[in-house]
């Protein structure tokens, strides 16, 4: 039986299940991924063989595609949270790691598009770690 990974959106109106393994887990620093996430990079899992099943809320899933590119972002129409999407004419499942509620059983494979990395995204491993919201 293939591994099963579950996930959902922020408001809980959309949930999904993925059956199968992930091929790669990339931390992408390209400008489009930074815009998608509002962060230093996107953290996405990729699979060419896993299958996606929407458990609930499929009618709330929206996809934005950047014209003239292969870049797409799926999200919940209710809360805006990132969700899985099928790209490259159905050949590739892309799953935002933060949308998962269970362990994907794979660690990040590589940082990619580092030539596009934000100038402020350097040496962050030296910053202090705080266990919760600073008071």
Residues in the chain: 135
pLDDT tens by residue, 44-63: 999 999 999 999 999 999 99
pLDDT at 1 (0 to 100): 63
The ranges assigned to domains in the chain are 4-114
Place of tokens 């590119």: 69
How high is the mean pLDDT in each 10-residue block of the chain (135 residues)? 88 97 96 94 96 97 92 96 86 95 95 95 90 91
Contacts of 13 (CB under 8 A, 6+ apart): 56, 57, 60, 76, 78, 79
Q: Does domain 4-114 have CATH number 3.10.129.10?
A: no
pLDDT at 86 (0 to 100): 86
| Cβ count near 59 (within 10 Å) | 10
């Amino acid at each position: 039986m293939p591994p099963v990974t579950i996930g959902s959106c922020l408001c809980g109106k959309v949930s999904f299940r993925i059956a199968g393994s992930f091929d790669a887990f990339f931390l992408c620093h390209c400008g489009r991924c930074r815009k998608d996430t509002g962060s230093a990079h996107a953290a996405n899992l990729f699979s060419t063989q896993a299958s996606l099943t929407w458990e609930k809320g499929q009618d709330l899933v929206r996809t934005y595609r950047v014209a003239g590119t292969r870049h797409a972002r799926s999200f919940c129409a209710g809360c805006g949270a990132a969700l899985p999407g099928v790209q490259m004419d159905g050949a590739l499942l892309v799953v935002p790691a933060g949308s998962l509620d269970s362990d994907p059983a794979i660690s990040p494979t590589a940082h990619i598009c580092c030539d596009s990395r934000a100038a402020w995204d350097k040496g962050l491993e030296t910053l202090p770690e705080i266990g919760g919201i600073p008071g």
